[in-house]
Amino acid sequence: MSTRDLNLVVELAGAVLCLLAILHVMISVRGSRSQKWYFLGFYSCLLFYVLSNMGGLLMKGLPGMNWHIGLQITNFCEFFFSNLLPFILSFFLIHLLSDVKEKPYILWFWRISLLLSISMLIVSQFTGLIYYIDNENLYHRGPLYVLYYISAFLIVFSDLYLVVRYRNCLSRKVTVALFIYLIIPLVFAVFQVFFYGPALIIYATLFSAFVMYIFLLSEQTEEHIRQEHEKMVLRLNLLSSQIRPHYIYNVLTSIHLLCRKNPEEAMRVVEHFTDYLRANFEGIAAENPIGFPNELRHIEAYLEVERRRFLDELKVEYRIEHTAFRLPALTVQPIVENAVKHGFGDEEKPLKITISARRCEGASEIVVADNGRGFSEPEISESMEALRNIRERLKLMSNGTLEIFSRKGEGTRVVIRIPDKEYSAGKAR
């Protein structure tokens, strides 16, 4: 088998594997949206790189202007996509290391390097500095062939620097995968610069890319299993926190007393209490974020029951400007319940709870505020511990945050923020 045939066979297998990787990334439910875009970009770029080289091999030496133009196009694409690959991986790496101090300088270095390499490639089409196609439609390296790849080498070295320096911020599998992809193609690229023949750099790139993919796929699978385990633990905690016999006994006692004094009022309380219990059980069973209107109905059902119990001692105000977003079930309602439970103080003033929802700086913001007795610093820590389950579910399911602000005798304010980036508005049901 000739060198040309060997290259074609290896590259055809690599192209098929690239297509399988792209298909898997497109249909996979694991991983964040941004990571999927990086993988799609990387394996699409690798696919075009391989196909361009295959096209050049098939048209090499064929006479005629049409084949000459075809060779110009395939060689341009081969050089362009081969140099684009390290940049895509670099931006993926900087995405993983979001807190890198050198990030602004590194990003500018990468952009300038990419711009210079593309400029050199375009100029070479008219000067033959990097490569040229002769009158017999044969490919030849130009005098600045080595210089063209210097920018790619510098990018790889900068990536290696980041991986080594910030390896503690990456998992072991991701670190190994990145090392394999960066080092093996780099070594073979050096050989390829001085020895022309088998497409060693393509062989090494394909091998390393799929080893890296296997490692990252394994990492994503383990992360998915870990998240599912966390969800199960959080749901069990949620179940234990939402089923409170003491509260149910108190409500049923209130209903019993109302049945004698005001049967119609008792029926309305039963309706609201039924809605509250139904929403509780649906919330416990919910595995995905729900629309905020559903959570709001749950809150209203709970507060209607409580207002019948406390009468004029409990005031509620709604300031709802925005509802088209999603959040984990039983996120806001337990906070409102906590405000009722802990808000009443020694003073005779009514407890007022204000619930607001609005869009704010690329996020949906929900605020539950009360004028109750508030918490001292130690009590705030204790309260934060009680809300830990909500905070963890918010982070895990919606990438959201929860903050609590309270002062003794002045009240408490709980702020929830859910970024629009992960859960787009308009999909709430």
Which tens digits make up the pLDDT trace of 131-142? 889 888 888 888
List the domain range (segments joined by +) for residue 23. Answer: 3-229
204, 279: one domain: no
Q: Is residue 51 in a domain?
A: yes
Given a cut of 50, whether residue 375 has pLDDT beyond it is: yes
Q: Is residue 385 in a domain?
A: yes
Given a cut of 60, whether residue 390 has pLDDT beyond it is: yes
- What is the CATH number for 343? 3.30.565.10
pLDDT, residue 418, reads: 93
Q: What percent of the chain has pLDDT over 90?
A: 17
> Cα-atom radius of gyration of the chain, to the nearest Å?
31
Among 175, 195, 229, the domain boundary falls at 229
Given a cut of 50, whether residue 423 has pLDDT beyond it is: no
pLDDT, residue 379, reads: 57
- CB-based contacts of 104, cutoff 8 Å, min separation 6: none
The whole-number average pLDDT for the span 17-21 is: 87
Return the axis-axis angle of helices 200-242 and 388-398, rounded to nearest 10°. Answer: 150
288, 201: one domain: no
211, 290: one domain: no
Q: Is residue 44 in a domain?
A: yes
146, 23: one domain: yes
pLDDT, residue 347, reads: 65
Angle at 301 between CA 372 and CA 247, to 5 degrees: 65
Q: Is residue 425 in a domain?
A: no
> 293, exposed or middle or buried, with CB in 10 Å at 0-12, 13-18, 19+?
middle
Among 229, 264, 291, the domain boundary falls at 229
Q: Over the chain, what HEC string results?
A: CCHHHHHHHHHHHHHHHHHHHHHHHHHCCCCCHHHHHHHHHHHHHHHHHHHHHHHHHHHCCCCCHHHHHHHHHHHHHHHHHHHHHHHHHHHHHHHHCCCCCCHHHHHHHHHHHHHHHHHHHHHHHHHCCCEEECCCCCEEECCCHHHHCHHHHHHHHHHHHHHHHCHHHCCHHHHHHHHHHHHHHHHHHHHHHHCCCCCHHHHHHHHHHHHHHHHHHHHHHHHHHHHHHHHHHHHHHHHHHHCCHHHHHHHHHHHHHHHHHCHHHHHHHHHHHHHHHHHHHHHHHCCCCEEHHHHHHHHHHHHHHHHHHHHHHEEEEEEECCCCCEECCCCHHHHHHHHHHHHCCCCCCCEEEEEEEEECCCEEEEEEEECCCCCCHHHHHHHHHHCHHHHHHHHHHHCCEEEEEEECCCEEEEEEEEECCCCCCCCCC
The tens digit of pLDDT for each residue in 176-214 reads 888 888 888 888 877 777 766 667 788 888 888 888 777
How far apart CA 60 and CA 68 sit, in angstroms, is 9
pLDDT, residue 357, reads: 94
The tens digit of pLDDT for each residue in 140-151 reads 888 888 888 787
Q: How confident is the model at residue 321 (pLDDT cuts 50, 70, 90)?
A: very high
273, 224: one domain: no
Q: How far is CA 124 from CA 23, 75, 128, 141, 294, in A?
A: 35, 11, 5, 11, 62
129, 263: one domain: no
202, 271: one domain: no
Under 8 Å between Cβ of 129 and 123: yes
139, 262: one domain: no
222, 147: one domain: yes
Q: Is residue 234 in a domain?
A: no
pLDDT, residue 427, reads: 39
Q: Rounded to 5 degrees, what are φ and ψ at 410?
A: -115, -15
User: What is the amino acid identity at position 268?
Assistant: R
- What is the CATH number for 64? 1.20.1070.10
Q: Is residue 71 in a domain?
A: yes
82, 224: one domain: yes
205, 99: one domain: yes
Q: Is residue 426 in a domain?
A: no
pLDDT-wise least confident of 91-95, 242-246, 350-354: 242-246
User: What is the amino acid identity at position 20?
Assistant: L
144, 285: one domain: no
pLDDT, residue 428, reads: 38
Q: What b/e sequence results for 46-61 when a residue is b if at least 16 CB atoms lie within 10 Å of its CB, and e otherwise?
A: bbbbbbbbbbbbebbe
Q: Is residue 237 in a domain?
A: no
* Number of structural domains the chain divides into: 2
The tens digit of pLDDT for each residue in 89-135 reads 888 888 878 777 777 788 888 888 888 888 989 999 999 888 889 88
pLDDT, residue 342, reads: 80
Q: Which of 350, 358, 354 is nearest to 336 (CA)?
A: 354
Given a cut of 80, whether residue 300 has pLDDT beyond it is: yes
Q: Which of 215, 185, 219, 229 is nearest to 203 (CA)?
A: 185
Q: Which of 34, 57, 37, 35 is nearest to 45 (CA)?
A: 37
Is pLDDT larger for residue 348 or for residue 53?
A: 53
β-bridge pairing 314-320 and 351-359? parallel
Q: How confident is the model at residue 422 (pLDDT cuts 50, 70, 90)?
A: very low
Q: How many CB atoms lie within 10 A of CB 13?
A: 12
Among 202, 229, 256, the domain boundary falls at 229
Q: pTM for this structure?
A: 0.56
- CB-based contacts of 245, cutoff 8 Å, min separation 6: none
Computed over every residue of the chain, the mean pLDDT equals 81
How far apart CA 150 and CA 322 sit, in angstroms, is 52
Q: How confident is the model at residue 354 (pLDDT cuts 50, 70, 90)?
A: very high
